[in-house]
């Protein structure tokens, strides 16, 4: 606090109030440090992460923290019923007070939101995608996920069990093998698939899609419910890229019965689960990597990610014109054949007279 007598004393004045004469320094050419392209990309990603962290303060700052070990003890939820909601920021802000009262937030080394890189795999027939599109009960999804902030990596296979329960089995994986599947990874995938469905895994997998997003994880204080909030989503594949609007969030609730605390909070705000909202399938469709996506249209519209009309769309086959060539194919013709005409009736009456 400044007193009246201190206003004339430069030593007591705030820095902004002190007049300083700046003299320009002579320009000296300094060599720029050599940086590899990967280092430049990492620096850019770190700057983007810092920017996103500042922008998400309204979402994460109010929660009490919980550590990773506590989260795993309370809510590993490798077997769960999931619901996904696509909401705008305004809706999430309305839900926030109720979530603050019932959930804690995952915090690691002072971070509360984390960058995930995910590489998805499919076979040449896009079996994983089309099994989802057709709604097959027994289906799989294979990915390698890299947790950038923690420098961890896992091979994961997600399987659909009885009553729609999602089963996720994962294997710790070297970070430098992100984007590929080695022999150990394929053994984990094949074993998990065989144990779940009782048959061999015979799909020749290759990487088809990369995805990056930021995730916030909430854990209910009572019970084992979990809630993830994904945003800043970016997809790349099929020679294309797509960024989802920054005010769009995918909320995924994970509970034992599919009707948890967060589901009730969102329903009170007139939000309902978005059916067929697999990020993998939606991204494949948005990047025009598949020919059919009609089952995912509601999710694509909410994400503002409908494929552009200039993509490699498959032209529907023109239906051949059908011209009735028999009397049986035309109801009118059939009716006229069954009843004699008026002229024939009159002619018959004249002959009988």
- pLDDT tier at 348 (50, 70, 90 boundaries)? low
Token pair listed for 346: 């009159």
**CA angle in degrees (0–180, nearest 5) for 115-103-269:** 95
Q: Are 18 and 10 in contact (CB under 8 A)?
A: yes
Has residue 77 got a pLDDT over 70? no
Max CA distance (Å), the chain: 138
- C-alpha 232/C-alpha 212 separation (Å) is 8
Place of tokens 């009170």: 268
pLDDT tens per residue, range 88-102: 999 999 999 999 999
- DSSP secondary structure code for residue 319 in this structure: P
Quote the pLDDT of residue 50: 55
Q: Which of 181-185, 276-280, 319-323 has the lowest mean pLDDT?
A: 319-323
Domain boundaries, the chain: 64-302
Say which residues have a Cβ less than 8 Å from residue 56's Cβ, sequence separation at least 6: 113, 214, 216, 231
pLDDT digits (tens, 9 = 90+) for 135-170: 898 999 999 999 999 899 999 999 988 777 889 999
Lowest mean pLDDT among 3-7, 165-169, 225-229: 3-7
Determine the Cα–Cα distance for residues 337 and 342; give it in Å rounded to an integer. 12
Q: What does R_g of the chain's alpha carbons equal in angstroms?
A: 31
d(CA 176, CA 214): 21
Q: From the DSSP assignment, how many helices (H) and strands (E) are in the chain?
A: 11, 11
pTM: 0.71
> How far lies 78's CA from each of 153, 165, 196, 278, 320, in Å?
17, 10, 14, 17, 51
- The arrangement of secondary structure in 64-302, i.e. its CATH architecture, is Beta Barrel (2.40)
């Amino acid at each position: 606090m400044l007193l009246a007598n201190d206003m004339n004393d430069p030593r007591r004045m705030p820095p902004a109030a002190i007049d300083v004469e700046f003299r320009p320094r002579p320009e000296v050419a300094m060599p720029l440090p050599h940086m590899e392209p990967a280092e430049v990309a990492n620096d850019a990603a770190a700057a983007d992460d810092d920017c996103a962290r500042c922008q998400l303060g309204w979402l994460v700052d109010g929660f009490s923290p919980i550590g990773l070990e506590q989260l795993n003890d309370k809510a590993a939820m490798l077997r769960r019923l999931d619901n996904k909601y696509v909401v705008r920021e305004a809706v999430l802000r309305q839900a926030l007070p109720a979530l603050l009262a019932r959930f804690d937030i995952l915090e690691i080394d002072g971070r509360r939101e984390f960058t995930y890189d995910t590489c998805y795999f499919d076979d040449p027939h896009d079996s994983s995608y089309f099994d989802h599109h057709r709604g097959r009960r027994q289906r799989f999804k294979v990915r390698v996920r890299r947790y950038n902030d923690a420098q961890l990596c896992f091979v994961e296979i997600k399987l659909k069990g009885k009553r729609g329960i999602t089963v996720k089995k994962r294997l710790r994986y070297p970070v430098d093998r992100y984007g590929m599947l080695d022999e150990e990874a394929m053994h984990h995938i094949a074993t998990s698939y065989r144990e779940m469905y009782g048959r061999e895994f015979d799909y020749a997998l290759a990487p088809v899609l990369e995805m990056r997003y930021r995730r916030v994880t909430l854990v209910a204080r009572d019970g084992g419910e979990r809630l993830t909030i994904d945003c800043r989503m970016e997809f790349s594949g099929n020679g294309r890229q797509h960024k989802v609007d920054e005010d769009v969030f995918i909320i995924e609730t994970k509970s034992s019965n599919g009707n948890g605390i967060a589901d009730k909070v969102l329903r009170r705000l007139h939000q309902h689960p978005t059916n067929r909202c697999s990020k993998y399938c939606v991204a494949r469709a948005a990047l025009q990597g598949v020919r059919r996506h009609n089952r995912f249209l509601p999710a694509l519209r909410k994400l503002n990610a409908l494929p552009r009309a200039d993509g490699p769309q498959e032209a529907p086959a023109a239906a051949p014109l059908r011209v009735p060539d028999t009397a049986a194919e035309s109801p009118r013709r059939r009716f006229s054949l069954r009843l004699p005409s008026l002229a024939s009736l009159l002619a018959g009456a004249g002959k009988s007279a």
